[in-house]
Structure 1
Amino acid sequence: MENVVILGAGYAGMAAATQLAARTKGRDDVRVTLVNPQATFTERLRLHMTGTGQQVARFDIPELLAGTGARFVRGWVTAVDADAKTVRIDDERVLHYDTLVYALGTVADTVPGVDDHAYTLNSFQDAELLADRLTRLGSGTVVVAGTGLTGVESAAEIAEQHPGLDVVLLGRGEPGANMREKPRAYLQAALERLGVTVRAGAEIVKVLPDAVELAGGETMHADVVLWTSGTRAAPLAAAAGLATDERGRIVTDATLRSVTHPDVYAVGDAAAIKQGYGVMHGTCQGGMPAGVHAAVSIFRVLQGKQPKVFRFGYYHTPVSLGRGDAVVQFTHPDDRPRRLFLTGRPAVRYKETVTASPWPTYGRMKKLPASGAFWPRGGRFTRGVR
């Protein structure tokens, strides 16, 4: 019996589970097990909406796996022993594996005081805590730490849903820095229209009970702090003896296998996947194809073949600016911005299509014959293996 254990039911983990289960369905010599702390899928792309009290659709993981033959195990992964090939769950149960797919994602990379005095969007539960606090706040100042895409979307959502609050978006970079001039200007104008105060070139070094401390000693009052500045992987992989980078992500070879333990595949945000243009950054856009590729590679090995090289190119950067506005910057495969972009309602419709794309994708994977693969590309679905 070949035991394949997949850790994490995010976009990458779900893609790997449904793809591999579809390919091995009916085989008595392969068992696919998916492990996740919650039985409900967390749509990380919509956590900024949950964080402002908006209702989003909920998806039950066992239902998503229904009919695939994959087994679901609910629990927290507390340890991985890469030499013994075991996974410990909740410090009580032990799963043995022959092949492991590591898709545990990342959490916020914090500074002192964040754990005690700030909110994050690490999970659905964290987002709900933020929503409750914002509802009770009524008036005051909310500092969103981090001017990346998550920070921009969160600041816009908070300002739109809670117009009585003063929202400050604060970080080292300029919002939309990786976009061309026109879409970047549109994004910044939208933030201004929503009443968001942007302060670029600032770095928070500590979060206090009612303020943030900036590099240089300045403090800024804050009734609520939302931390969106940077991510890191859990220390589980490094503790297991797997080679990791400075952010705790598993270093992979060209086929997505760990460079130190080839029976471990790493996908999604928890993997440091190198392409010709550099190391991929964590997004659903790249996580799902990586999950599919890992599943296809495992299936090839089961057939006595070698896994193929993983190649990925970016396609777009979609950013919501509240419920009625958005900007989409289309990109070259190396993530450099193209001239093409969308704004306003067309961008909203486009982003909603992309955000909803995992669900028909998973449904297609459940019915997939062993000869092909699907992955999302800009809201469309293409057959084949990259």
Structure 2
Amino acid sequence: MKHRIIVLGAGYAGAYAAGTLARRLSPADAEITVVNAEPDFVQRLRLHQLAAGQEVEAPRLADVFAGTGIRLRLARVTAVDPERRAVAVADADGGGELGYDTLLYALGSHVADHGVPGVAEHAFHVTSRPAALRLRERLDHLSRRDEGGSVLVVGDGLTGIETVTEIAESRPGLSVALIARGELGAPLSAGARSHLRRACDRLGVTVLEHTGVEAVEATRVLCADGTALASDATVWAAGFAVSPIAAAGGLMVTGEGRIVVDRTMRSLSHPSVYAVGDSAYAIGDNGRPLPMSCASAGCTGTQATAAIVGRLTGRKISNAKLRYQGNHISLGRRDGILQMVDDEAQAKPRYMGGRKAARIKAGILKLSLWATSHPTFGLPKRRRQLAAVPNVSAEKAIA
């Protein structure tokens, strides 16, 4: 019987991992199924651009996986049962249950409201395509008004910074502000922080530092110091959270719900399960947990696929580099910051800013899209090379 591999999620980590497995495993021995709720591949790293009014490509997953032998199941994951090796899904036909021998968990993350009242009801965010389009519609409405409108972005992480600068550049008629819990750009070097401040000044972004948010209402934000800030569109960018599905299924998770894995991205509690991307709590080569990021999705996905292929074929499992090398921040379409970090995850003194940094960031995004949406690249040659790979039982694969 074929070894059944199910990949949950077709974001950067899941789609790339599925394509890599299809390239490296013989279709005579392995059956790969990808489960995803949406029919399109979402460039999450560019959703702030989509919200600001730009067009962002969203390839259809059916086209992405065409010719690979990968089965695509458009459905929402509702539960995992690692003891029975089964996944429950829901779709337009009512859903059902899928059995697996190896599960690759890549359900990613979503916006975290941190329990702040009013965020779910009144705030916008950019962690999904529908949410970004909803914000875009609101910005379109405000831009058409004679009096314009005010946009307040809460959160000064990379998502908040990229979102507020993109909106300010694309919607110059709107009043745009950023709420930062601490100092703006605190993780950056002194030079990069200065560059970020100059960019905000140039784009007309008002920055409110050392400010906490207590509640979000329909037309204002209430701050911890009692101040009320008027807002026609509040964008929540104050962190990410993962689905509770892994914890509910009995997998070993952190307090935040991320699956605890070993060096090969294999679950410490259930060896038939691997986790990648934001869903995984993986320790990097510097001994620190990898942050939720596209870069982490890439290296954890590379490591997990190497481990799965190695265990199925009896080959030596190679170790991918688990390193977070730095931050690539866009500040609109013509400016950016590239900030490298050291082995202690601290910003190095030197940075790159300006148009060159923006071009490099754009190139990274294009490469990420190409690599994810072209899983058939080199497929025939690899298939010929691996056609004689022996079948491996599920029990042996997870031993």
Answer yes or no: same fold by TM over 0.5.
yes
Paired letter, 1:112: P
Local SS of the residue matching 1:164: coil
Tell whether 2:318 aligns with 1:316.
Answer: no
Tell whether 2:191 aligns with 1:182.
Answer: yes
Tell whether 2:359 aligns with 1:355.
Answer: no
Q: Is the 8 A contact 1:40 1:61 kept in 2?
A: yes
Local SS of the residue matching 1:150: helix
Give runs of aligned pairs for residues 186-205 of structure 1, distance below 5 A: 186-205=195-214
TM-score w.r.t. the length of structure 1 is: 0.91
The corresponding residue for 1:78 is: 78
Give runs of aligned pairs for residues 73-112 of structure 1, distance below 5 A: 73-90=73-90, 92-110=95-113, 111-112=116-117
The corresponding residue for 1:113 is: 118
CA distance, structure 1, for counterparts of residue 176 and residue 187 of structure 2: 23
CA distance, structure 1, for counterparts of residue 279 and residue 271 of structure 2: 16
Paired letter, 1:300: G
The corresponding residue for 1:230 is: 239
The corresponding residue for 1:12 is: 13
The corresponding residue for 2:170 is: 161
CA distance, structure 2, for counterparts of residue 285 and residue 313 of structure 1: 8
Shift of 1:304: 3.2
The corresponding residue for 1:221 is: 230
Tell whether 2:344 aligns with 1:339.
Answer: no
Shift of 1:366: 3.6
The corresponding residue for 2:310 is: 300
Once superposed, what is the RMSD of the aligned Cα atoms?
1.9
The corresponding residue for 2:63 is: 63
Paired letter, 1:114: V
Closer/same/farther in 2, CA of residues 240 and 264 from structure 1, 3 Å limit: same
CA distance, structure 1, for counterparts of residue 173 and residue 369 of structure 2: 36
Structure 2 residue aligned with 1:254, among 243, 246, 263?
Answer: 263
Paired letter, 2:87: V
Local SS of the residue matching 1:338: coil
Tell whether 2:43 aligns with 1:48.
Answer: no
Q: Is the 8 A contact 2:337 2:358 kept in 1?
A: yes
Tell whether 2:127 aligns with 1:126.
Answer: no
Shift of 1:107: 0.7
CA distance, structure 2, for counterparts of residue 263 and residue 203 of structure 1: 42
Identity %: 37
Q: Is the 8 A contact 1:168 1:197 kept in 2?
A: yes
1:289-332 alpha-carbon deviations (Å, 9 max, x no partner): 21122111111111235755554112231111111111111233
Shift of 1:79: 1.0
Paired letter, 1:293: Q
Local SS of the residue matching 1:89: strand
Q: Is the 8 A contact 2:23 2:375 kept in 1?
A: no
CA distance, structure 2, for counterparts of residue 282 and residue 162 of structure 1: 29
Q: Is the 8 A contact 2:299 2:321 kept in 1?
A: no
Shift of 1:258: 1.1
Paired letter, 2:76: W
1:194-228 alpha-carbon deviations (Å, 9 max, x no partner): 01011111111211121112224332221110001
Closer/same/farther in 2, CA of residues 215 and 365 from structure 1, 3 Å limit: farther
1:18-52 alpha-carbon deviations (Å, 9 max, x no partner): 11010114x32210111111111110110000111
TM-score w.r.t. the length of structure 2 is: 0.88
Q: Is the 8 A contact 2:184 2:193 kept in 1?
A: yes
Tell whether 2:151 aligns with 1:151.
Answer: no
The corresponding residue for 1:22 is: 23
The corresponding residue for 2:273 is: 264
1:332-380 alpha-carbon deviations (Å, 9 max, x no partner): 35432223322111111111111111234343774164899xxxxxxxx
CA distance, structure 2, for counterparts of residue 364 and residue 66 of structure 1: 9
The corresponding residue for 1:375 is: none
The corresponding residue for 2:298 is: 288
1:243-279 alpha-carbon deviations (Å, 9 max, x no partner): 1112211111121111111111010011111123311
> Which deviates more from structure 2 when the two are superposed, residues 324-333 or residues 361-370?
361-370
Shift of 1:95: 0.8
CA distance, structure 2, for counterparts of residue 226 and residue 184 of structure 1: 22
Q: Is the 8 A contact 2:281 2:290 kept in 1?
A: yes
